[in-house]
Amino acid sequence: MIETTAAPFPTLRLRPWLAPVALAAAAVGTYMALFWAPTDAVQGEVYRIIYVHVPLAWLSYLAFVVVFLASIGWLWSRRPWFDALAVSSAEVGVLFTGLFIVAGSIWAKPTWGVWWTWDPRLVTTSVMFVMYLGYLLLRSLSTDFQRRATRAAVLGVIAVVDIPIVHLSVIWMNSIHQLPTVLRMTGGPTLDPTMGLTLGVNVVAFTLVYLALLGERMHIERARQRLVLERRS
């Protein structure tokens, strides 16, 4: 049986406010990225793509970690809102990962001279993208709610293994990709303070965009779950 009571999830309660706050934060982050942050001495203006590329990467990780946690929640408690959270975060994560790959290609063309190369970071990110596309496709193979949610949850737990592989691939493997400049294994960030602040603001802005999209998608999924229950009753 699918529960009809709303889960105490902050994103759902704050849903009406998240979109305008996210848009305002995105506007501030965009201004800082385009006009306030200084030009990179080596890469020139093209480096500004990092203010989109890096937040997209981090939010892709976050989205899929949420899928992992929500999948555990479903397997442990069988509460349907965990399944709603998992599928909602997976869809937003796939969107962000696709944009992450596109932004990386835009940066790669003037920097490496090619849109795509079989670099370990690019390959592992593409594998992650395909894995979570498979997660979403797996959900369409069954109309039984319990079976679909359980199968997806198992894959959601397994697929999270690829996240540290993606992040550390530039260290573990022979890669031409730039090494981490913020989340480094040793030492602190190597970014100029102004660049670092701009990046931080954009990470916050993208996080708010993620939460806004997640809240809207969960609202739709919970309504769908209630519709399924009404049809069975």
Residue that wins the pLDDT comparison between 132 and 123: 132
Taking a C-beta distance cutoff of 8 angstroms, is the pair 29, 202 a contact? yes
Report CA dihedral (222, 216, 166, 51) to the nearest 10 degrees.
Answer: -170
Q: pTM score, two decimals?
A: 0.85
C-alpha to C-alpha distance for 172 and 168, rounded to whole angstroms:
6
pLDDT band at 94 (very low <50, low <70, confident <90, very high): very high
pLDDT band at 111 (very low <50, low <70, confident <90, very high): confident
State the chain's mean pLDDT as an integer: 84
C-alpha to C-alpha distance for 161 and 82, rounded to whole angstroms:
20
C-alpha to C-alpha distance for 127 and 65, rounded to whole angstroms:
16
Q: Which domains does the chain have, with CATH numbers?
A: 12-232 (1.20.120)
Q: What percent of the chain has pLDDT over 90?
A: 51
- Whether residue 180 has pLDDT greater than 80: no
DSSP H or E run through 125: helix 120-139
Which amino acid is residue 119, in one-letter code? D
- Whether residue 24 has pLDDT greater than 80: yes
Mean pLDDT lowest for which of 164-173, 200-209, 213-222?
164-173
Beta-carbon neighbour count of residue 57 at 10 Å?
A: 24
**Predicted local confidence at residue 20, as pLDDT:** 92
